[in-house]
Amino acid sequence: MLASSIALEDLLLYLSTYRNLFTRPCSATGKLLALDAVTNQLLPPIVRPFKRSRSVLLAMANGSEPCQAFHPHVEAATEDLP
């Protein structure tokens, strides 16, 4: 497989983790919506860790492994994830 097609597939697998954007609560706070201090609006957990192996991305896309989701104000906590 070409490197570009692998990269595209990884991107599409990553984007598939957003299918539960309004139903998956934040992994850190447990809330579905949180007030964003910058925009002063309620936001869903829009931050999804993207440094995942292909096998983990495939498992998340198939729904066999839950995807972690975070609100923007707890985004700094996601930098320490493996």
Q: Where in the sequence is the domain holding 74, given as residue range(s)?
A: 3-78
pLDDT of residue 41: 92
The residue-averaged pLDDT of 38-53 equals 87
Nearest to 29 by CA among 47, 15, 56, 51: 47
The tally of domains found in the chain comes to 1
Mean pLDDT over 13-32 rounds to 90
| pTM for the predicted model, two decimal places | 0.70
Beta strands, E only, the chain: 34-35, 42-43
